[in-house]
Structure 1
Amino acid sequence: MFGWKRWGWCGLAVLCLWPALAATAETFDPAASRFGFELRTRWGMKLEGEFARYEGEVKHLHDGRHQVVLRMFTESVEIIGHPRYSEWTRGPQFFEAKRYPVVVFVSKPYDEQLLKYGGDLAGDLSIRGITRPKTLTVAPSTCARPGRDCDVIATGAVRRSDYDMDDWMMAVSDRVVFVLRARLKAEVAP
């Protein structure tokens, strides 16, 4: 009888864990995806930043919904065409890359139709050890298979001061707009 009880508990544990075990994931295509942000100086100049290194995946959850997990490495940040601004964004006044090496966005589960028709993608954004709710706006798709045949484009604005990045306020705006253009790696035929 002890053996049946033990196997019964093991079976119950497997059933409870099955949804987590059944979930699959796809990764972003590094050759076709771009994760960046835009800043404005007080003089109206637009600065475009880019995370040269990132990791991300789209999890396919057991209930049919999806979830995005994106990690952008702050040491890889470049402000295009402006090396001094690049150093500043990696430094202690902005991302503080040595202490906080990763910016993380984890979405709430969403229906795949969001990618086709556009809308709000809610989640949590962590910068410099501070996590806040953040909603990205996903643009309507321009193709039948978003993320495969065309980019999935999402944008969202944050205030630097909400993440303790409030230096240089006289020179650079508090508002940072994240711009994410994502494609998934091509499926490999079995």
Structure 2
Amino acid sequence: MAVAFVAAFAVFSTNVNAQTTKWKEDASHSSIGFSVKHLLVSNVKGQFNEYSVSVLSDKSDFSDAKVTVKIKAQSINTDNKQRDEHLRSPDFFEANKFPEIIFVSKKIEKTGNNTFKITGDFTMKGVTKTLTLNGELGGILQKDPWGKTKAGITLIGEVNRFDYGLNWNKAIEAGGFVVSETVKLNIELEIGKEG
């Protein structure tokens, strides 16, 4: 299984100027999740419990945003201890050797009023490839009850785990494999403005 992911991330950006305003994740209202087909008939879901999201942007519409996401591979959680230990092993993430999964944005393209595509370098298990996710800006709240500025972002996409060396599988008699090669990403982010 792979994840993700992911990603995380802001809206709209191709500008390379040095931004000074930082946003970061509100972990209690965010999740980096994934699902994978099991035995061709059902979906197993999981998430990563430890990650950081940094968004640098000086514009109110995030049009100059630069996004970095770092995920701790050891923090994978599918609510099954034995399966999670297997996922951390060399069959999948090899988390002791490759402790971080990293996404760094390179381009953000608007596709609608509040929708966009975010493309960047995604590194997992020592392999870096280009990853594009579909995103939606849920909105920006200038002042929450605690006086903080918040923004909400949803990201969805897919990765092929075989592309990153997560190759474990077993064939089933009906054809196909125990675990699908395609992993669906579902990322919900609430980010807060720093300072």
- Structure of higher CA gyration radius: 1
State the partner residue of 1:99.
Answer: 97
Question: Which structure dedicates a bigger proportion of its chain to strand?
Answer: 2
State the partner residue of 1:52.
Answer: 49
CA distance in 2, matches of 1:183, 1:123: 20
Question: Within 5 A, what are the aligned runs for 1:1-190?
Answer: 20=18, 23-60=20-57, 65-80=64-79, 82-110=80-108, 117-139=114-136, 141-145=137-141, 148=150, 151-169=152-170, 170-185=177-192
Deviation digits for residues 105-159 of structure 1, max 9, x if unmatched? 1112437x679521211111100010000000003x444559926x311011011
Q: Which runs of 5+ in 2 are unaligned?
A: 1-16, 143-148, 171-176
Q: Which runs of 5+ in 1 are unaligned?
A: 1-18
Deviation digits for residues 132-189 of structure 1, max 9, x if unmatched? 00000003x444559926x31101101111001111152100011121110113656x
Three-state SS of the structure 2 residue aligned to 1:88 is helix
Verify the 8 A CA contact 1:27 1:58 in the aligned structure 2.
yes
1:23 positional shift: 2.6
1:148/1:24 CA distance change after superposition, 3 Å: closer
| Corresponding residue pairs, total | 165
Letter of the structure 2 residue corresponding to residue 52 of structure 1: N
Alignment RMSD (CA, Å): 2.7
1:91 positional shift: 1.3
Three-state SS of the structure 2 residue aligned to 1:174 is strand
Verify the 8 A CA contact 1:34 1:50 in the aligned structure 2.
yes
Question: Which structure dedicates a bigger proportion of its chain to helix?
Answer: 1
1:28 positional shift: 0.7
Three-state SS of the structure 2 residue aligned to 1:31 is helix
- TM-score computed with the length of structure 1 as normaliser: 0.76
CA distance in 2, matches of 1:34, 1:116: 24
